[in-house]
Amino acid sequence: MTDNTAQHVPHRPLILIAAMLAMFMAAIEVTIVATAMPSIIAGLGGFSHFGWVFSIYLLTQAVCVPLYGRLADIWGRKKVFFLGTSLFLLGSVLCGFAPSMTWLIFFRAFQGLGAGAIMPLASTIVADVYGPDERARVQGWLSSVWGFAAITGPLTGAWIVLHFNWAVVFWVNLPVGVIAMLMLARWLAEPVEKQPHRLNITGSVLMMVTVTALIGALLQAQIAGVWLLLLLAVAAGGGWLLYKHERSAQEPLFPHALWRSRIQLAGNAGNLIIGAAMMGISAFLPTWIQGVNGGTPLEAGSALAMMSIGWPLASTLSGRVIARTSYRVAALMGSILLIAGCGSLLLLHSESRIVSAGLMAFLIGSGMGMTSTTFLVAVQNDASYHIRGICTASVMFSRMLGSALGTAVMGAVLNYNLALRLPDFHDPVQQMMSPAQRAGLSGAVLQRLTQQVAGSLHWVFFVALLFALACVVAAKMLPAADRPGSYGVGES
């Protein structure tokens, strides 16, 4: 199956629906679990460790994404997708039966091992069955799933914990995942690979050690202490050994053609930047709304949901822009939207309306939707069938790595500013976001906290703006006149 024959694949709409179901299952997992966490903590206890419920899932997921991408190129998309999805669903079942917070964290790690296959392979499968001129449009459909999940996830999670046991938030994945697998088993046909392949075991181990140390260091940067230096040293050493090994490996995890392509490098750099910039709004805009503006969690969630609406709309529009102009123009347009959105966050003040924050989030989501889809489609169109899996997975891993990097950098910027501005207050953000603690503050103290926390968050938004500006550099790395329809790396 090559780019020339992809448009003749039968049952493409059904394959697309199966991929969208898989994407929805992975997308709703984050928001639905977050909504149910108060009920989970009430049932299991262990509040001090609840952050690991999310961190360990993201860590094991990120570690496996590149490996699944390479395995999909070697063993075939269906086999690896079924393997990852089965692990994910088994982990979901076990999470529902967790007797304690410790066991829940362990089962979430197992669940993340499977989740690493779902997003990159669903996107790769869709790229396999649709031709270069159509990929931007169908990737827009996949992006719309994330917007829908961001809105329905919290509502579904709240309804489940209100009427059922919290375990159901994990078990709701089962029918969706099973249906997606059955549809792909029935309608997705893959070419028979006659060339023997051998899995790069040494490279896989080195990559997992490197990625685990790096992501772990970034996720736990605020509390790791001296262990942070050790993790970074392990990541640097593992990365160097991986680089040396990959240069001489007969079948490297990351094919050499990937690093020789400007499009591949631009796609990975762009998604690293997008992932980092995204944390400026995902993690810290709700903090502004609830802490500085005194809004409710519902208002913060509603404003943030605007990003999830703008993302798929711009993602769908990017297909038309690419077809009429080029990858570079579309990526630059998205970068401008991202810059405008991140820059507008600096205009927020304590009296800003929630609707203003929502419009800024919409603008940022639109920029991210256009840039991320453009970079992904450019990468997929540039890659031949036998390396498209690892190319797609590499782009998605870059975005995950960027999110971890953005969280670490912006969290450090916020904590440094708070320590500098409010040295006599312990956890001032928590005091402002908790309705009970906020009500107990005097007017003068609340005013001081509001001003200083707002100033600290403005520095966070400024860092997000710097990341957005860097996206322009990644966009300009794309060849000026390239658009869908030409062969790329790995073609013979």
Residue numbers of the chain with a pLDDT score lower than 50: 1-5, 487-488, 490-492
What is the 8-class DSSP label of residue 489?
Answer: B
pLDDT at 295: 79
Amino acid 265: pLDDT: 93
406 closest CA partner among 357, 465, 337, 454: 465
SS3 123: helix
* Helices (H), ranges, 164-255: 168-171, 173-187, 201-219, 226-248
DSSP 391-459: HHHHHHHHHHHHHHHHHHHHHHHHHHHHHHH-TT-SSHHHHHHSHHHHHTS-HHHHHHHHHHHHHHHHH
Per-residue model confidence (pLDDT) at position 491: 45
Q: Hey, how many other C-beta atoms are within 10 angstroms of the C-beta on 317?
A: 20
How confident is the model over 337-364, as pLDDT tens digits?
999 999 999 998 888 888 888 899 999 9
Provide the whole-model pTM.
0.87
Question: Which pLDDT does position 178 carry in this prediction?
Answer: 95
Residue 99 token pair: 């007797």
